[in-house]
Structure 1
Amino acid sequence: MESMGEVLRSMSNPAVRLRSRDLERELLNHELVLRLRAEHPELDESRLRLHLPRLYQYVEEARNCASCPGLDKCPNDFQGHYSKLTVETAGGFPDLYERKTACQLQIARDSQERIRRRITSFYVDERVLNEGYDEIEIMGKDPRRAPAVTRLYQYIGSVKESGLSARGLYLYGSFGTGKTFLMCYLLHELAVAGYSGVIVYMPDFIEELKSMMTDGAKLKETVDTLKNCDLLIFDDIGAENLNPWARDHVLGPILNYRMERKPTFYTSNYPLEGLEKHLSFTSKDGEEIHKGQRLMNRISPYVEVVQLVGENQRGLSRS
């Protein structure tokens, strides 16, 4: 069918009237229009003729959808949507109404966008969060990771079934074994379930805090975000160059607020004992064992320690 839209708009031109009648007849006998007429015999042909452009749009967009080129190349007037016709009675007479309806591809994209908006990233590579997750690959990538991955699956399942607890996970292991990737997977799965989450790459976050010292509003907004999100992940804790202010006046209050309320998660190259040593030493004041212990008292009781054993995947494929 040629572009009836253009023809219909130019029907006042005698040169196209004859062809427009052929197109009108072709449109009214199109299988989609015939089906509509069969479902709504109360809608007479004269009423249909008043809505020829609307019928044309309906048929044309159905044709586009039948040979869908993908969401980004959608040729319909409203990308990711198609025309849907309904018959409703107004003023005692049936009439034809059109509304734009999201296609399945658009619905899926909207769903993913809603999930993505529940996740906030501070200094973590967005590609890790945006990549898809293949559960078979996650488990099968390195068999030595199986115990840790199984525990992660169990935790996700428990939250979906029973809701959040105040207890998170402390995932530690050697470089490149997939700790960040697995925590991003946890964040994604629980975002699908409706929970908000924040993941913070600690080395860059601690450096950025220095500039926030002079911007009280930004600092408060950041700290409030970390305090109040459902799921908080401190990624690569122990790799940062810690200073007393960041430890005692930022990390301390965040963990103090969350410890009886919401779960906090960690990835680290250190076991808990090694992390305590790290938190006890700052670049300015040197070793302060009691301050490290104070912070660990807000971490250790509220996490389950999970060791991730495996091959360094960096330089290989992802995860």
Structure 2
Amino acid sequence: MEEIAKFMAEHKIIDTQVEHTDIECLGCGREIQRVIITFEGGSQKMNEAGCMCEANRKAQERQRELNARDYDRFSVIQNEYLEKSFDNYIVNSDDEEQKKMQSEALKFTKHYALNFSSHLKEKQNLFIQGTFGTGKTHLAAAIRNEVSKQNYKVLFISLPNYIEALKKEFRDKSNHHSIYKWATEADLLILDDVGANRMNEFAISELFRLVDARIDKCTVYTTNMTSEEFTQTKELNRILSRMVNRAKAIVIKGADYRRKGLM
């Protein structure tokens, strides 16, 4: 009681009254009450009480924020890519065809990230395919950085790092922090560099298991592999079929920006 009296004195509150309205909140079913606060000098302020919807909304938002932070912790992304954005993506102005492809890729990936809530409902994937050094990972990282701000669970990892994490778990005989579990439960999985590692039987099997589990969830894939390379084996062909399911295909071909200026 002393604390309440101290609070009222500090805020110059002289009286509080609760009025019953007999109005039920359609969300939680509780009665909505009016709390009338009277201050020194006679001014009044009215708040609503009783309804738990706003408190529940704030609690859910806080939990989403904590979940998003956990996924930030498990993402395997180089520090340089944490600063990647759509604004600092460089379009090659030396080649008109490449410029057009990169500009279209930039436009769509930015729209995807900024409107992720609608794409999540539609379960739309992105399949970004192209040659080395055309900015595929930059755009994927920009998507990750933007969608993470919206408190979605986003996991960014390259396929080689994902396979290595699985192998480590098998060696340690531990699945307490199973990378497969994190990858399958993410609101958005960004799987970078598909095909960059040695695609042995284990890698192909685990990639298929992951891609199959993500059929009805939003996933962004980037790859240097051509469609022809995917169709060389039945297993890779099955994987490609699932990756492009409900996917917008983005193709970027051109010169490697990292080699610009070299002889």
Normalized against structure 2, the TM-score is what? 0.63
- Percent of paired sites with the same residue: 22
Q: Structure 2 CA distance, aligned partners of 1:207 and 1:187?
A: 21
Q: Is the 8 A contact 1:263 1:302 kept in 2?
A: no
Q: Distance in 1 between matches of 2:150 and 2:189?
A: 16
Question: Which residue in the other structure is 2:85 paired with?
Answer: 133
Query: Equivalent residue of 2:122, what SS?
Result: coil
In the alignment, what sits opposite 1:259?
A: 215
CA distance in 1, matches of 2:220, 2:187: 11
Deviation of 1:209 after TM superposition, in Å, equals 3.1
Paired residues of 1:204 and 1:240 also in contact (CA < 8 A): no
Q: Is the 8 A contact 1:122 1:205 kept in 2?
A: no
- Residue 245 of structure 1 aligns to a residue in which SS? helix
Q: Distance in 2 between matches of 1:231 and 1:181?
A: 16
Distance in 2 separating the partners of 1:140 and 1:293: 31
CA distance in 1, matches of 2:135, 2:208: 27
- 1:1-319 alignment runs, 5 A limit: 87-89=10-12, 118-120=71-73, 122-129=75-82, 131=83, 133=85, 135=87, 137-138=88-89, 140=91, 142=93, 143-144=99-100, 145-161=102-118, 163-218=120-175, 221-248=178-205, 250-260=206-216, 262-277=217-232, 280=233, 289=234, 291-314=235-258
Change (3 A) 1:236 1:151: same
Contact persistence 1:231–1:265 (CA under 8 A): yes
Q: Can you give the 5+ residue segments of structure 2 that lack an aligned partner in the other structure? A: 1-8, 16-39, 41-64, 94-98
Distance in 1 between the 2:227 and 2:117 partners?
Answer: 27
Which structure features the higher share of helix residues? 1
- Aligned counterparts of 2:122 and 2:180: Cα–Cα separation in 1: 21
Deviation of 1:90 (Å) = 8.6
CA apart distance, 1:117: 5.1
Unaligned runs of 5+ in 1: 1-85, 95-111, 281-288
1:273 partner letter: E
How far off is 1:141 after superposition?
Answer: 5.7
Q: 1:253 corresponds to which letter in structure 2?
A: R
Q: C-alpha deviations, 1:245-300, integer Å up to 9, x for none?
A: 3322x32222222202x1111111123332343xx3xxxxxxxx2x2333233222
Question: Matched residue of 1:265: which SS?
Answer: strand
Provide closer, same or farther for how the CA distance between residues 132 and 87 of structure 1 changes in structure 2, counting only shifts above 3 A: farther
The residue type paired with residue 171 of structure 1 is: I
Which moves more between the two structures, 205-214 or 194-203? Answer: 205-214
Any conservation in 2 of the 1:200–1:233 contact (CA below 8 Å)? yes
Partners of 2:85 and 2:139 within 8 A in 1 = no
SS in 2 for 1:200: strand
Counterpart for residue 18 of structure 1: none
- Aligned equivalents of 1:241, 1:212: Cα separation in 2: 19
Taking structure 1 as the reference length, what is the TM-score of the superposition?
A: 0.53
State the secondary structure of the residue aligned to 1:124. coil
Deviation at 1:122, TM superposition (A): 4.7
Which has the larger Rg? Answer: 1
For residues 147 and 220 of structure 1, what CA distance do their matches in structure 2 show? Answer: 38
Asked if the contact 2:125/2:244 (under 8 Å) is kept, the reply is no
